């Protein structure tokens, strides 16, 4: 089971990723790569 902290972190990362994709899909490569690396490390 995931703890509350892990769930909140996943939700926050998902929201940030979606906002970055909606606001500037091509202007945020650094943010996208950072989030992807965090998600890979988290898994």
**Prediction pTM value:** 0.46
Q: Report percent pLDDT > 70 for the chain.
A: 65
- Select the more confidently predicted residue: 42 or 17: 17
Q: Report which of 11, 22, 16, 19 is spatially closest to residue 34, judged by C-alpha positions.
A: 16
Label residue 1 by pLDDT band (50, 70, 90). Answer: low
Domain positions in the chain: 4-42
- Select the more confidently predicted residue: 30 or 8: 8
Per the prediction, the chain carries an average pLDDT of 75
Residue-by-residue DSSP string for 1-43: ---HHHHHHHHHHHHHHHHHHHH-TTT-HHHHHHHHHHHHHH-
Question: Once rounded to an integer, what is the mean pLDDT over residues 4-28?
Answer: 78
């Amino acid at each position: 089971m995931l703890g509350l902290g892990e769930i909140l972190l996943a939700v926050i990362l998902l929201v940030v990723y979606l906002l970055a994709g909606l606001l500037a899909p091509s202007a945020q490569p650094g943010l996208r790569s950072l989030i992807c690396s965090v998600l890979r490390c988290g898994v």
